[in-house]
Amino acid sequence: MKILIATASLAIAATIAATSPAAAQEAFQGPYAGIEAGWNKNKIDRAETDIGRADVRTSQDSATAGIFAGYNQKVSDRIVLSAEAGFSMGFDDAVTRTTGSTLASIDPEYNFDLGVRAGYLVNDKTLIYARGGYQNLRASVRINDATASRYNKDTFDGWSVGGGVERMLTERVSARLEYRYSDLGGSDTKFERHQVLAGVAYHF
């Protein structure tokens, strides 16, 4: 329901922007903001947390939705560099494993990211790009075993890489499709995330 409401809101805004008079806007130059939604897969082998080691060893597919904002800078006729920040949440994305009386669960609550994009304009309205950056995820952690039942909040952070294509639909509205891989693990944690995201942005 949240995804539908957010998508409908941006669609209305995009329609208003497309039909309202506006000054000429150079494509992929300047600030922008938008929403995105798509598929998310959390894959966790093990996680060293504040309440102990969680041996999850499974994965979970889910939906995700979020917002993003950034700034495009054309450094040549065909090259665009961008800085971008985003915030997102998943839906039914807890990764849980139960073996006998032992339970290990990591339930992501929200995620934010800071990244950069490097893109190439294949024509005046279409940008293909690669991206990379920093990811930070807040999650609820639960571990039940023979010794005790423990619950706490924890933070996982790491890096992400990906790429996609973005096309201007009007002078100020664009749509994009992107794949992103994130590694939220460390020496004692193996936590991977795969995402396919579709987004719509308004360029100011």
pLDDT of residue 11: 45
pLDDT of residue 4: 39
Angle (nearest 5°) at CA 125 between 122 and 127:
50
Could you read off the pLDDT of 44-99 as tens digits, one per residue?
999 999 999 999 999 999 999 999 999 999 999 999 999 999 999 999 999 999 98
27 in helix, strand or coil? coil
Domains of the chain, earliest start first? 2-20+27-203 (2.40.160.20)
Comparing 19 with 38, which gets the higher pLDDT?
A: 38
pLDDT of residue 120: 98
Q: One-letter amino acid identity for 72? A: N
Could you read off the pLDDT of 37-59 as tens digits, one per residue?
999 999 999 999 999 999 999 99
pLDDT of residue 57: 92
What global pTM score does this model have? Answer: 0.84
pLDDT of residue 128: 98
Could you read off the pLDDT of 142-198 as tens digits, one per residue?
999 888 899 999 999 999 999 999 999 999 999 999 999 999 998 889 999 999 999
pLDDT of residue 24: 63
**Strand ranges inside 75-172, DSSP E:** 79-91, 95-99, 102-123, 126-144, 149-168
pLDDT of residue 12: 42
In 3D, which of 58, 138, 166, 70 has the Cα closest to residue 104? 58
Could you read off the pLDDT of 106-146 as tens digits, one per residue?
999 999 999 999 999 999 999 999 999 999 999 999 999 88
pLDDT of residue 3: 44
pLDDT of residue 20: 44
In 3D, which of 191, 93, 100, 92 has the Cα closest to residue 144? 100
pLDDT-based confidence at 101, cuts 50/70/90?
confident
